[in-house]
Structure 1
Amino acid sequence: MSNNASAFPLRQPPQQLSDDRAHPQIGTKAAYKARLKRGQHTLTHVQQSYYHQQRRALLVIEGWDAAGKGGAIRRITRKLDPRGVHVYPIGRPTPEEQGRHYLYRFNTRLPLPGHWTIFDRSYYGRVLVERIEGFASEQQWQRAYREINEFERQLTDDGVRIVKLFFHISADEQAKRFSERLHNPHKRWKLTEEDLRNRARRDDYERAINDMFAQTDTLACPWHLIQANHKWHARIAAIDTIVSALSEGIDIAPPPIDAQVVALAEAQLDTVFSSD
């Protein structure tokens, strides 16, 4: 039975994971760098528009362990004004947070006007790791689909633009990256017992992820599936998706310069301003 009676209409069909789906790649490093530079440049203009228009954005980043979420976030934020973007890596709740509703710690980290918030993992942990590991009862995680949809509806009704990305890698690619981490002294810290336990239950997680898509892939807040077997492509796809989603229906052109500023500058700097 659907838990979405009072929530957004769902997309049909919703996203679904598949290791058989093609994972595109970018041919050369030069092509990757050019596309990355262009995407980051545009993303900076979008951020500036959100600042000037006092708009808010929430980026929700989910995905498999070792899917490249951290590397993508670094590329997303690298050229942004750090004063206007906040990245929150989501781990286990603190003792204070454990005594409250699971959405509490996300409510306290929502973006201010003109700002962006990025959740590196998110409140969707309720229907993923908390479901699989038994940290939430079946009644709790089943109820969470409706709670999350209503939470996102409240945010969008209040003007927050939400972009949800899921980074998908195949089981074979994940095994390759785990092995690389294990044998690289500078990456070994990234591989944990929890990662390996999660991999042992990959089938359970895949079912939970597909259930999450089926229940929360809404028309207003859709999931964007990032095919991430090839890191260069995943980073470009993530940036392009964010640019497209945050630009829709929004004027991202630079705001006009203040006429009084122009007059003062021409008087004090002995220069003539041209809008060309």
Structure 2
Amino acid sequence: MLDSVDLTKKIDDKKEYEKRLKKQQLILLGLQRALMDEKIGCILVFEGWDAAGKGGAIKRTTQNIDPRGFEVHSTAAPTLEQKQYHYLQRFWNRMPKYGKLGIFDRSWYGRVLVERVEGFADESEWRRAYGEINDFERILTGENFIVLKFWFHISKEEQLNRFNDRQNDPMKSWKLTEEDWRNREKWDLYKEAVDEMIQETDKENAPWHIIEGEDKRHARVKTLEIINRTILTEMEKRNIDVKHYFKK
């Protein structure tokens, strides 16, 4: 699956990028107001390779919308307290209110990615998780939530370039950890896990979108375009007219 992704897509012209980015940000601002008024929740899941551009895309997604209407959750390893519960419990508690955006920088998919590859979950547990996650997301979309999932994809060579850039830049070196290097050594195992994850959990109600991340400009614009197009489609399904949310 990932082998077929075209990583050559790019936006070369900076002015074109800025114009397209601003346009999509303004559309999202209008759609955010529509979500608030109609009490429709929206959940955005950002997954991807280390240094693939998730953080930059989240920043551009939220840059010009109402900060009262969204919350970003950065997911780390579960605490000792969280390990006493089902792995989805800590995410249930972070679901946004109706009308809000909940943005997850890594998510419950850790169960079938890092926990699978690193052996924190045995095979029976991570295989069972596919059905649990599908049920979880089906409940959300059945309760007036929109669920969108993104995988940010780059090549192994591009990741190495970005790791080296971070390592050599004192303003960015904090982003690079020993864990990032260890994960890179298991690239093929993670790639197998990603392919299976998408195959098992790409559903009509909660689809995966693969973002070609070699060019950060392309990745950021495409992410916003997908978010806006999906929200507009969901509004149409509900017979909600959103034209008045946009200034002419």
TM range (shorter): over 0.9
Q: Which AA in structure 1 matches 2:243?
A: A
SS in structure 2 opposite 1:95? coil
For structure 2, the 5+ residue unaligned runs are 236-240
Q: Residues of 2 paired with 1:73 and 1:108: CA distance? A: 21
CA RMSD of aligned residues (A): 1.3
**CA separation in 1, counterparts of 2:29 and 2:158?**
32
Aligned to 1:109: 94
Identical counterparts, % of pairs: 46
Length, aligned pairs only: 241
Mapped contact 1:87–1:119 kept (Cα < 8 A) = yes
Name which of 109, 116, 135 aligns with 1:124: 109
Equivalent residue runs for 1:33-182 within 5 Å: 33-182=18-167
**Counterpart of 1:254 in 2: which secondary structure?**
helix
Cα distance in 2 for partners of 1:204, 1:238 equals 26
Supply the AA of the counterpart residue of 1:218: K
Greater helix percent: which structure? 2
Q: Is the 8 A contact 1:89 1:119 kept in 2?
A: yes
Residue 238 of structure 2: aligned partner? none
Write the distance in 2 (CA, Å) between the matches of 1:22 and 1:184. 25
**Match of residue 244 from structure 2:** 254
Which runs of 5 or more residues in structure 1 are unaligned?
A: 1-15, 256-275
- Partner SS for 2:44: strand
In the alignment, residue 78 of structure 1 is paired with which amino acid?
Answer: Q
TM-score after normalising by structure 1: 0.85
Q: TM-score, normalised by structure 2?
A: 0.94
Correspondence 1:173-212 to 2 at 5 A: 173-212=158-197
Contact 1:49–1:254 (Cα < 8 Å) also in 2:
no
CA contact (8 A) 2:7 2:213 kept: no
2:13 to 10, 24, 28: 28
Bigger Rg, structure 1 or 2: 1
Opposite residue 136 of structure 1, the aligned amino acid is A
Measure, in 2, the Cα distance between the counterparts of 1:237 and 1:20: 14
Is contact 1:26–1:233 with CA below 8 Å preserved after alignment? yes
Which one of 179, 203, 209 corresponds to residue 218 of structure 1?
203
